A and B are shown apart, each in its own frame.
Chain A
C-alpha cells in the first residue's frame, strides 16, 4: 500500500477496499514510527486529519467523490491552514495558528484530500539543506548523515520515506526540485502564476511558486489538476482556461527534441550525477527522442542575480514579522525600537537575518541601481536565453543538482557553497518557467540523483508526459530507502 500510486489509492477507496480513515490512520502511525528519526513533520493534528477523513468517507459513500477524495496529503509549513499552527520553520511563528486556508490548501480540501500534517522546512524557505529550520534539520531517508535538500525538505523526506502519499512544496530557487532530487522523488515547479500564492507565506514574491511533490509524474499531474487555476486573490495569478494535466501522459516520445545546455554539463558537475543523467538521456533516445546541444550563456549569472533579487523582496516581505500583531515578541524591551530589534534578533535565525541584511543593502539609496536594477536587467537576459533555446527544442534536460545529497554541516558555514548547489535550478525561477525533477539513479554513495526537465511556459502537461514515459520505462521512482 505505501508504494501505491494516487490512482491506485483512489481505486482502493472507490472499491471500498479501504477507507480514508484507515488510510489516514495508517499514515499517522507510520509518521509516529519514523518521524522521530526523520523530523519531516513539525505539526500533526490527528483530530483534524481524521475528521477530514471521515468527511471524505461520507463523500465517497454518497457518490460525490472527486478523483483524489480521501487520500492524505502533507503540506509544507509555509501554507496557512485554518486552525493549524503555521510556522514557516521559524521561531517567529512558533505560536502562530493560521485563521485561514491558503488557496492551495483550500483547493485540496475542496477536492476531499485529507490534511495529514505540516512538514518541516528551511526557515522562511531560505536554505538548501533544511538546516536553517528552527525545528531542527530533516534527515534524508536514504542516509541519516545526508541533508534532504531544501527548502521543501520535510515534504520531500515525507514522500521518500512513504510517510505521506503526496505533499505540497514551494520553489523559489529550486526548493521543490532540489530536495526531490536529493530524496529520489518527483517534484514539479509550475510556470509562475499557475498556482495561486494566496496564503503561502512569501519569501520572494516574484519567484515563489507552489507545486506538487510525489512519487511519480502521474501523481504530480493529478495533484496539479487540483492546485492549479486562477485565483482573484493573487494579482499575479494567471487567468487561463483550466487544463487537464494528465492529458499528455500517454503521449509517445518519438520526435521529441531534448535540449542539453552545455553550461549544465560543465565544470562543477560530479561524475556520478553526470553518469546517471547521461544514462537517462540514453533511455530517452531509446524512447524515440533526439537530443540537441544548446546554450544558456547567462546561467553563471543566475546565482548572483538571484541573491540580489530574492533577498531584496524577502527583506520587505519579512517586515511584517515585527512582534506587534502576532507571532513572537521579545519578552523584555525598553521602547518600541528596542522591541523591534530584540523581537527580530531573537525571532529570526542567522540565514534569514543574512538575507534581510543583503536585501536591505541592495535596496538602499545609492545602491539600488547598481544591484537591484542591474539584476532585473540580467534577469531579462536569462529569460531570453531560454526563449532562444526553446526555438531549438521541446524540453530542456540536465542534472537537477551538481552532486548528490551532501552531509550535514558540510556547507552550513559556507553560504556561497550552499548557494552554488542551486546553480541548475535558479535560472528557471528567474525566467518564470516550469521545471521538474525526476529520479534517475544513484550516486556512488547510494544517494539519489535527479534529472531536471525544463519546459516552456505552460508546458507542464507535456513535461509530465515526458517524465511519465520515462517512468514507465524505468523503476528509479519506485525505489525506496531501506532505512524504512
Chain B
C-alpha cells in the first residue's frame, strides 16, 4: 500500500522588537526570572494593553514578502483559558481577522521547486514559563516571556513528507531572519513549529484525521517527529484502527510522539474581540512606508545577481542563501572591480568550504571580503597561479597577514619572466630527447609531461599560460 503523508505547519516566530507587544517591558532573553515583567505583563488589576507598532510593522513585512494580503483592518481577540503562566487568564491573539491573509513560499526539495500556500499570519502574545524542575513539589512561574510578540504563520496542508516540511520551515526561517523580523534562534524558542500530520492512501482526495504535534524547536525534531507520527498513523490504519484527532508532544529522547490532549478535551477558548484594543487599522501609507524600509528580498536579489553579475542561476541561488553571504559577495565584487564569476567561485568554493569545516558563519569569517578581493586581484594580474592562490588563502585564514605580505614571506610569487621559463624549458627538452621525439611523432599527450617537469623544476611558480606558450613554440 502506498501512503501519502500530508503536513501543514504552524510556525510561531518571535518578533525582534525590543519591548513587548502590549507593554514597555524588555524582551531580552535570559534575564533573572520575573525581572522583565511589568504591571501589564503580570496582569495587575486595572492595567491595559497598548499595541507595539513595531510588531505590526514586522507582520506587514512578512505579509509583503510572501505576497499575502495585508488586512487594512484586523481585530485582536481574547483566547480564554486558565494556566498559571497566563497571567490574564486569556491570551490576546487574532482569530477571525488576522493581520495577514494568504501568500505563499517557494521551497526547493532536491531538484524540484514547490509552492506552499500560506493561509494566514496573525499577531499574538506569548505566555510565561512554568518551571517544574527547581521547585520540589511546586511550580515556579517566570513571566519574563509573557507578552513577547509572536507572529503565528499558518500554512495550508501542502507538504508531502518530512523533507518538504523541513524545507518549508528552513525557507521560512531564512526569510524571517533575512527580513530581520526574527532572530531565528531556535534554542531560545524564537522559531517554533507545530506540525499537523495526517496520512491517506495515495490517490485519495480527502484528508485523513490529523494530529497536531506541538512545539518542535529544531529542524531535526521536526523531521523525526513527522516521520514517527506518519508511521504511527499508517500502522494504526493498516491494523484496522482509526486515527484519533488529538494534540501530541514529541519526546526527542525516545524519538516518539505522545498524546497531550484529545479532541474531546479540547478547550472552548471563547474567542471574542478584546474590548481593550481598538481594531488594528493599517493605512496604505503605513504599508508603503514599511515596504520602503524592507531589504531586497532573496528572490529579487537572485534574479538581479543573474542579470547584473552574469552568474548562473545556481550560483545566484547559493550566494543569496543568506543576506550576510550576499552582502559579502557584493562587497567582494565591488572591491575587485569585476571578475564576478571568479568571485562567485571563491565564495562558493574555498571560502564556504573553510567556513563549513570550522562551523563558522559568514559574519565571522576570518578572511574579509577586502582580503579575498586582494587575493583575486593577484590572480588576475598574474602574480599568483590558482594553485598558489589556494595556499595564500589558507595563510589568510590562519591570520598570517595581508595578501602581499604572505606572498612575500612565503616566496610564492609566480615567475612570469619569460627568459627564466625558457631556460628551464630548454634544459628539460635537452634532457628528454626520446619524449620530444614521441611528441613530434604525434603523441600529443606528452605535452603534459613537459608541463609537469617544468613546474616541478620551478616549484610550481611558473606562470602556467606563459609556460604553455613557450613549450608549444619550442616543440612546434
A interface, CB within 8 angstroms of B: 79-80, 86, 88, 93, 96, 98-100, 102, 197-202, 204-206, 232-236, 312-313, 315-316, 318-322, 324-326, 336, 340, 360, 363-365, 368, 372
Residue pair B47, A312 in contact (C-beta under 8 Å): no
The residues of B that contact A88 with a CB separation of less than 8 Å are 45
Residue pair A199, B272 in contact (C-beta under 8 Å): no
Q: A316-B80, A316-B90, A319-B80 are in contact. Are A363 and B270 (CB under 8 A)?
A: yes
Q: A99-B39, A313-B275 are in contact. Are A198 and B45 (CB under 8 A)?
A: no
Residue pair A206, B275 in contact (C-beta under 8 Å): yes
The residues of A that contact B88 with a CB separation of less than 8 Å are 319-320
The residues of A that contact B46 with a CB separation of less than 8 Å are 79-80, 98, 102, 197-202
The residues of B that contact A313 with a CB separation of less than 8 Å are 275
Residue pair B45, A319 in contact (C-beta under 8 Å): no
Q: Bound state CA distance, A250 and B43, in angstroms?
A: 45
Q: Bound state CA distance, A24 and B49, in angstroms?
A: 36
Residue pair A322, B82 in contact (C-beta under 8 Å): yes
Residue pair A201, B45 in contact (C-beta under 8 Å): yes
Tell me which residues from 291 to 321 in chain B have a Cβ below 8 Å from any Cβ of chain A.
Answer: none
Q: A99-B39, A205-B276, A325-B42 are in contact. Are A198 and B268 (CB under 8 A)?
A: no
* A344, closest chain B residue (CB): B82
The residues of A that contact B43 with a CB separation of less than 8 Å are 320, 325
Interface SS of chain A: loop
Tell me which residues from 258 to 284 in chain B have a Cβ below 8 Å from any Cβ of chain A.
Answer: 268, 270-272, 275-278
26 contacts between A and B (CB under 8 A): A80-B46, A88-B45, A96-B45, A98-B44, A99-B44, A100-B39, A197-B46, A199-B46, A206-B275, A233-B50, A235-B48, A235-B276, A236-B275, A236-B278, A315-B270, A316-B80, A316-B90, A318-B89, A319-B80, A319-B82, A319-B88, A320-B45, A320-B89, A322-B82, A325-B87, A365-B268
**Residue B460, interface by CB 8 Å:** no
The residues of A that contact B161 with a CB separation of less than 8 Å are none
The residues of B that contact A80 with a CB separation of less than 8 Å are 44-46
Q: Bound state CA distance, A120 and B222, in angstroms?
A: 56
Interface size range on B against A: 20 to 34
Q: A100-B39, A319-B88, A363-B272 are in contact. Are A326 and B78 (CB under 8 A)?
A: no
Residue pair B275, A205 in contact (C-beta under 8 Å): yes
CB distance from B45 to the nearest CB of A (A): 4
* B274, closest chain A residue (CB): A205
* A92, closest chain B residue (CB): B45
Q: Bound state CA distance, A326 and B278, in angstroms?
A: 28
Q: Bound state CA distance, A88 and B48, in angstroms?
A: 17
Q: Bound state CA distance, A480 and B276, in angstroms?
A: 40
**Residue B141, interface by CB 8 Å:** yes
**Residue B102, interface by CB 8 Å:** no
The residues of B that contact A321 with a CB separation of less than 8 Å are 45
Residue pair B82, A235 in contact (C-beta under 8 Å): no
Residue pair B278, A235 in contact (C-beta under 8 Å): yes
**Residue B436, interface by CB 8 Å:** no
**Residue B379, interface by CB 8 Å:** no
Q: A86-B45, A363-B270 are in contact. List 13 more A-B contacts (CB 8 A).
A: A100-B44, A198-B46, A201-B45, A201-B46, A204-B275, A234-B50, A235-B51, A318-B89, A319-B88, A319-B89, A325-B42, A325-B141, A368-B272
CB distance from A399 to the nearest CB of B (A): 29
Q: Bound state CA distance, A316 and B277, in angstroms?
A: 14
Q: Bound state CA distance, A198 and B48, in angstroms?
A: 6
The residues of B that contact A202 with a CB separation of less than 8 Å are 45-46, 276
Residue pair A324, B84 in contact (C-beta under 8 Å): yes
The residues of A that contact B78 with a CB separation of less than 8 Å are 316
Residue pair B272, A312 in contact (C-beta under 8 Å): yes
Q: Bound state CA distance, A360 and B271, in angstroms?
A: 11
The residues of A that contact B275 with a CB separation of less than 8 Å are 204-206, 236, 313
The residues of A that contact B84 with a CB separation of less than 8 Å are 322, 324, 336
Could you say which of A98, A199, A316, A365 has the most chain B C-beta atoms within 10 Å of its C-beta?
Answer: A316
CB distance from A436 to the nearest CB of B (A): 24
Residue pair B50, A320 in contact (C-beta under 8 Å): no
Residue pair A197, B272 in contact (C-beta under 8 Å): no
Residue pair A232, B50 in contact (C-beta under 8 Å): yes
CB distance from A15 to the nearest CB of B (A): 38
Q: Which of B44, B89, B268 contacts A316 (CB 8 A)?
A: B89
Q: Which of A93, A315, A340, A372 contacts B45 (CB 8 A)?
A: A93
The residues of A that contact B45 with a CB separation of less than 8 Å are 80, 86, 88, 93, 96, 98, 201-202, 320-321
CB distance from A347 to the nearest CB of B (A): 13
The residues of A that contact B80 with a CB separation of less than 8 Å are 316, 319, 363
* B141, closest chain A residue (CB): A324
CB distance from B376 to the nearest CB of A (A): 55
Q: Bound state CA distance, A123 and B84, in angstroms?
A: 24
